[in-house]
Amino acid sequence: MNQQIREAQYAVRGELAIRSEELKNVCPMTGVNLPFSRVVGCNIGNPQALDQKPITFFRQVASLVEYPELLKEENAEIVSRLYPSDAVARAKLLLKHVGSVGAYSHSQGIPHIRENVAKFISERDGYAADPSKIYLTQGASAGVQLTLEMIIEHNKVGIMIPIPQYPLYTATLAVLDANPVPYYLDESKGWGLTTKELQRSFDEAVQKGIETRALVIINPGNPTGQCLTEDNMREIIEFCRKNKVILLADEVYQTNIYRPKDRPFHSFKKVLKSMGSDYEGFELISYHSISKGMIGECGRRGGYFECEGLCDTVLEQIYKISSISLCPNVQGQIMVDLMVDPPKKGDPSYEQYKKEYDDIYSSLIKRAAILEETFNSLEGCTCNSADGAMYLFPQIRLPKKAIEAARAAGKEPDHFYCMAMLESTGVCMVAGSGFGQVEGTAHFRSTFLPQPELFADFCSGIKNFHADFMDRYRD
Ligand code: DCS
């Protein structure tokens, strides 16, 4: 088999997650006495797996397009008792453009939906977007994989990635036999990013004979949660232009913004356009997804990427490669339509939509703060706040004895800590070693997605476990 596939590592669904699945089965079925009643998967940003309710309007439309019989005149009366009129109207409009959700669509994505995505981008940024440069995808993951495949010409190609990073990037680079070119985020400065560090990383790759072709920026960050300032983004764009690298902007957490006054989200597209005509032809690819935000429709697999500054011959090749997998799934595309064009003020569904959205949003802000406080209260643990995204990434200073015990078990110390937490609390987190970290440090990543009514127990479980762990291994 392809040995590159053996090389690829994907920690968020790695050994800890596999063990947590085993525990889920053990838990209710065998009556084995486990010290917890439920396995809590904080290893992955998968809100609905932790009981976040889907947005009602989105599911209403999805169900109507799935079963168009409901839209027939003879069912209008019964349907009007179950569905608001704007959900019915949206489903009819979508079906007019889609035909059937069971048919392959245009490989680049349904044109009507791409037009709506372009409208959304231009309203968000204040600069025009072109539907012909937007590709709908099976989640942002598929978009990232496809564009990396496009860029990686040979095995000396390098792609700059943040450390810590979301392991989709290292895993895909491993499969494609390309070189990660790591640049480090500065934990002591709230996971800040400097162009000095970007240049160091780029120059070091040059020394090694690596041709760096692209820079990946995750904003807001995963696993680190930081949100870039506009000034910082301008410097990054300048860095890319100077060093002739394509900017890949992973913006899937663009609505998960928790300090909107101090650290609002700016898209790279907007910042680039604001820099004027000198930057004409600058190459930027930006990704978005239905999996995150307040939507959390991870299982539907929907997303898009927008290309800026790529020439038509490249765009044609992107179309060709998209067409080889025929099309992104149609229900995922429909969810993209709903994400970019939700109910508006005055629509029958608006009030409910807004309430559901705002409730999730304000609760995420609260839960992020409570978990941060919990982590900062633990002995040997420090945690930056999350400006955005769905995770906290605390650093933990483990006792020497714990480090020795981990090494004796052939494990990284942070993995050892996370495994002990899983076995004793049922809480599954991911060790920092799966994302990359400064040599000699240890971290772990947790989502703050457990539901509000369970949150106090969740946090006290972590505190109790940590105190026991530190006592057991105290020097
Ligand atoms: N980019 C980033 C930064 C992500 O965090 C994720 C998913 C993706 C892309 C891909 O998402 P979709 O393919 O679903 O659109 N986040 C992973 C994570 O760290 N936890 O859950 C999945």
Whether the pLDDT of residue 13 is over 80: the answer is no
Q: What is the CA radius of gyration of the chain?
A: 23
Q: Which residue has the tokens 């392809």?
A: 2
| Cα 141 to averaged position of ligand 1 atoms, centre (Å) | 7
Shortest-distance atom of ligand 1 to CA 142 = 13
- Domain shared by 272 and 371, yes or no: no
The CA–CA distances, whole Å, from 16 to 244, 409, 427 equal 39, 15, 10
- Domain shared by 86 and 120, yes or no: no
The residue range of the domain holding 382 is: 3-52+354-472
The rounded distance, in Å, linking the Cα atoms of 452 and 159 is: 39
Q: What is the pLDDT of residue 14?
A: 83
For residue 170, the tally of other CB atoms under 10 A from its CB is 23
The residue among 340, 366, 386 that closes a domain is 340
pLDDT, one tens digit per residue, over 172-206 is 999 999 999 999 999 999 999 999 999 999 999 99
Percent of the chain exceeding pLDDT 90 equals: 92
Q: Which residue has the tokens 């799935």?
A: 66
CATH number of residue 322's parent domain? 3.40.640.10
Shortest-distance atom of ligand 1 to CA 218 = 3
Q: Are 389 and 461 in contact (CB under 8 A)?
A: no
- Domain shared by 140 and 281, yes or no: yes
Q: What is the average pLDDT across 81-99? A: 97
- Domain shared by 46 and 69, yes or no: no
The rounded distance, in Å, linking the Cα atoms of 109 and 114 is: 7
- Domain shared by 326 and 192, yes or no: yes
Shortest-distance atom of ligand 1 to CA 391 = 19
Shortest-distance atom of ligand 1 to CA 140 = 15
Whether the pLDDT of residue 31 is over 70: the answer is no
Q: Give the pairing type, strands 211-218 and 157-163.
A: parallel
Is 221 a pocket residue for ligand 1 (Cβ < 6 Å)? Answer: no
| Cα 137 to averaged position of ligand 1 atoms, centre (Å) | 13
- Domain shared by 11 and 147, yes or no: no
- Domain shared by 177 and 294, yes or no: yes
Q: What is the average pLDDT across 422-432? A: 94
Q: What is the average pLDDT across 412-441? A: 94
Q: What is the pLDDT of residue 439?
A: 93
Q: What is the average pLDDT across 262-287? A: 96
- Domain shared by 270 and 418, yes or no: no
Is 218 a pocket residue for ligand 1 (Cβ < 6 Å)? Answer: yes
The residue among 71, 98, 125 that closes a domain is 98
Whether the pLDDT of residue 138 is over 80: the answer is yes
- Domain shared by 248 and 385, yes or no: no
* Total count of domains within the chain: 3
Q: Hey, what amino acid is at 108? A: Q
Q: Is residue 360 packed enough to be buried (19+ CB in 10 Å), middle (13-18) or exposed (0-12)?
A: middle
CATH number of residue 83's parent domain? 1.10.287
The rounded distance, in Å, linking the Cα atoms of 193 and 366 is: 26
pLDDT, one tens digit per residue, over 36-76 is 888 999 999 999 999 999 999 999 999 999 999 999 999 99
| Alpha helix positions (H), 378-449 | 400-408, 413-425
Is 256 a pocket residue for ligand 1 (Cβ < 6 Å)? Answer: no
| Cα 452 to averaged position of ligand 1 atoms, centre (Å) | 23
Which residues are bridge partners to 214 per DSSP?
159, 246
| Eight-state DSSP code of residue 192 | B
- Domain shared by 196 and 74, yes or no: no
Provide the phi-psi class of 350: left if phi over 0, else alpha when psi is between -120 and 50, else beta.
Answer: alpha
Q: Hey, what amino acid is at 181? A: V
123: in domain: yes
